[in-house]
């Protein structure tokens, strides 16, 4: 077989609809909540509402989730996320790397101080499913009083 024939046979083996379906299953979500950590822990996989406005004095948590991930040979999910919070002027406020999403959901605190400005902040999560070599991003905007 020629090289071109090998490439074409490999392309035929995976249809575009199969690739689209695999890509669509990641569906990352990021949201901001002021629920107490113990309430979040008890919520399990329950749907949470995004808090559109928070106060600097509140305990703020970023909640990350994905709909599904590809189970590897060991039968386990291997997904993680990098999270970046941006100030209203677009500069980086804070970032957290390699937040594990192996349980399809994770939380990380967002610390605001009295010196942080009032305005619209943006949180961007870049999520990776390492078993299937997929990634996606999700973002949320919230106001700080």
Q: What pLDDT does 70 receive?
A: 85
pLDDT by residue for the chain (145 residues), tens digit each?
A: 555 554 445 555 555 555 555 555 678 999 999 998 788 878 776 778 889 999 998 989 999 999 888 888 888 889 999 999 999 999 999 999 999 999 989 999 999 999 999 999 999 999 999 888 889 999 999 999 9
If you ran DSSP here, which 8-state letter would residue 117 be given?
P
Annotated domain spans of the chain:
27-144
Q: What pLDDT does 79 receive?
A: 93
CA distances from 94 to 7, 62, 87, 109 (A): 44, 12, 9, 11
If you ran DSSP here, which 8-state letter would residue 7 be given?
H
CATH architecture of 27-144: Sandwich (2.60)
Residues with Cβ within 8 Å of 128's Cβ and at least 6 positions away in sequence, in order, are: 79, 80, 81, 134, 135
Q: What pLDDT does 7 receive?
A: 47
Closest CA to 141 of 122, 126, 125, 128: 122
Q: What pLDDT does 22 receive?
A: 53
Q: What pLDDT does 20 receive?
A: 53
């Amino acid at each position: 077989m020629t090289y071109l024939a090998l490439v074409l046979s490999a392309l035929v083996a995976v249809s575009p609809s199969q690739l689209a379906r695999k890509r669509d299953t990641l569906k990352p979500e990021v949201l901001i909540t002021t629920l107490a950590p113990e309430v979040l822990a008890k919520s399990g996989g329950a749907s949470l509402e995004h808090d559109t406005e928070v106060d600097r004095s509140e305990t703020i948590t970023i909640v990350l989730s994905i709909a599904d991930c590809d189970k590897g040979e060991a039968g386990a999910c291997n997904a993680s996320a990098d999270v970046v919070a941006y100030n209203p002027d677009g500069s980086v406020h804070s970032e957290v790397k390699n937040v594990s999403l192996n349980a399809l959901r994770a939380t990380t605190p967002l610390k605001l101080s009295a010196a942080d400005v009032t305005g619209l902040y943006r949180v961007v999560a870049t999520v990776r499913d390492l078993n299937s070599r997929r990634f996606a991003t999700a973002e949320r905007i919230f106001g700080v009083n």
